[in-house]
């Protein structure tokens, strides 16, 4: 059966996210944690203006999630450690020969190369659990990969980076041919465009080693939005010509040369940790809109909105402050994962309301995800 990952611009059934929980990523102080919760909440509410949002919530965060998210976001209790849903959630695919069938690729997730600081045992199960919940056929893969490490045009082309899929900490025995064969089998991409690397900040201790979704994305088949760093004082000013050269030399699955549209970053070059990787490329396309990263730079934010409006005609551009997300290691695209709409009704079960006598504004919640013994036990005790 030929699986195919639709373009992000294709219609969505919903967007999946995971709610933050106390730990290393969220921050050490109460102020840090409050900032993180608010950042994830702001993205969820922005997406919910356009399409349904389903949020995985750790049992320890249920009350907080209800209070912050309100009634507009469906919640599912399941154990959570990491909460970058793009990376450890399923990569949804469709089968054009079976129009009503949804697939979910379950990559091996090892916390972006098994760093000492990452906890991923729980989040590594999320793809399988979400797939079962929505009735998707599981497409298991032996490739260590993350959703932020790929971008597709929906028509047979995938963007990859050599420092992710060929990372020895992820896939020590992989080569291009093996990775490309797995991309064809799992997401239907018969043409891979390999970028040599990612942005500079992504190679520090807490980076992903070069995710493509902060560097380049397809606005449409044959058209790529590419991060640009015009300031020579930033090391990415020297990095981007190498990446651009790889795109200029490539052809897509249809044999076309790519049209490359620059998406310049904001003026800020550094934060307390060093050179930033602030990138407007890390946006999410939703039904009728685009959720864009903002960086507190009115000129650059407005310029990015204009470029995105031209790239995605007919969609409303909504900007959300992404600085708290980037301070924790990613952006808007990194914390979201779209589920494509199917031509026939989705097999997803209907949500049932949360039993919450103390809050009239409690968020609706679908049934507990498969394997969620914590939620089932709580319901038994009520």
pLDDT tens for residues 224-264? Answer: 999 999 999 999 999 999 999 999 999 999 999 999 999 99
| Count of domains for the chain | 1
235 in a structural domain? yes
Q: Is residue 252 part of a domain?
A: yes
Residue 370 lies in a domain: no
Three-state SS annotation for 99-162: CCCEEEEEEECCCCCCCCCCCCCCHHHHHHHHHHHHCCEEEEEEEECCHHHCEECCCCEEEEEH
Domain of 217? 3-350
- What are the tokens at 331? 């952006």
pLDDT at 153: 99
272 found inside a domain: yes
Write out pLDDT tens, residues 17-62.
Answer: 999 999 989 999 999 999 999 999 999 999 999 999 999 999 999 9
Q: What is the 3-state secondary structure (H, E, C) of 158-182?
A: EEEEHHHHCCCCCCCCCCHHHHHHH
CATH number of the domain encompassing residue 94:
3.75.10.10
Give yes or no for residue 370 having a pLDDT over 90.
Answer: no
Q: Would the pLDDT of 347 be above 60? A: no
Please report whether residue 378 resides in a domain: no
- Residue 13's pLDDT is 99
Please check whether residue 372 lies inside any domain of the structure. Answer: no
Tell me how far apart the alpha carbons of residues 124 and 24 are, in angstroms, rounded to a whole number: 17
Q: At residue 360, does pLDDT exceed 90?
A: no
Are the C-beta atoms of 194 and 176 separated by less than 8 Å?
A: yes
Domain-located, residue 363: no
The whole-number pLDDT of residue 369 equals 67
Count the Cβ atoms, other than its own, within 10 Å of residue 139.
21
CA distances from 244 to 184, 198, 228 (A): 24, 11, 9
Annotated active-site positions, please? 334
DSSP 363: P
Question: Bridge partners of 293?
Answer: 320
pLDDT value at 267 more than 70: yes
User: How many angstroms separate the CA atoms of 162 and 228, rounded?
Assistant: 20
Q: Residue 93 forms beta bridges with which residues?
A: 103
Residue 362 falls inside a structural domain: no
């Amino acid at each position: 059966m030929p699986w195919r990952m639709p373009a992000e611009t294709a219609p969505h059934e919903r967007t999946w996210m995971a709610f933050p929980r106390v730990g290393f990523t969220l921050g050490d102080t109460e102020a840090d944690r409050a900032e993180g919760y608010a950042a994830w909440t702001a993205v969820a509410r922005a997406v919910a203006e356009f399409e349904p949002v389903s949020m995985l919530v750790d049992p320890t965060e249920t009350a907080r999630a209800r209070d912050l998210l309100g009634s507009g976001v469906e919640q599912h209790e399941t154990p959570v450690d990491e909460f970058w849903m793009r990376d450890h959630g399923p990569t949804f695919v469709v089968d054009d020969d079976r129009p009503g069938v949804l697939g979910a690729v379950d990559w091996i997730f090892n916390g972006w190369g098994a760093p000492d600081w990452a906890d991923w045992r729980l989040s590594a199960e999320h793809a399988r659990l979400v797939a079962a919940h929505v009735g998707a056929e599981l497409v298991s893969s032996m490739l260590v990969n993350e959703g932020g490490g790929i971008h597709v045009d929906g028509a047979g082309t995938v963007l990859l980076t050599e420092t992710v899929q060929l990372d020895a900490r992820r896939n020590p025995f992989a080569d291009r041919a093996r990775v490309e064969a797995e991309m064809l089998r799992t997401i239907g991409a018969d043409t891979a465009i390999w970028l040599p690397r990612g942005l500079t900040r992504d190679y520090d201790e807490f980076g992903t080693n070069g995710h493509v979704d902060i560097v380049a994305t397809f606005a449409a088949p044959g058209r790529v939005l590419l991060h640009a760093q015009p300031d020579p004082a930033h090391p990415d000013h020297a990095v981007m010509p190498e990446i651009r050269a790889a795109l200029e030399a490539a052809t897509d699955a249809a044999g076309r040369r790519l049209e490359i549209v620059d998406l310049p970053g904001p003026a800020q070059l550094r934060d307390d940790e060093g050179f930033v990787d602030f990138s407007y490329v890390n946006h999410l396309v939703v039904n009728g809109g685009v959720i864009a990263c903002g960086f507190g730079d009115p000129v650059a934010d407005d310029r990015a909105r204009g470029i995105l409006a031209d790239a995605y005609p007919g969609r409303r551009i909504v900007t959300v402050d992404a600085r708290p997300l980037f301070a924790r290691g990613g952006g808007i695209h990194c914390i979201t994962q779209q589920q494509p709409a199917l031509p026939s009704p989705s097999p997803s079960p209907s949500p049932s309301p949360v039993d919450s006598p103390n809050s009239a504004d409690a968020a609706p919640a679908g049934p507990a995800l498969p394997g969620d013994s914590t939620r089932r036990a709580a319901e038994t005790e009520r």
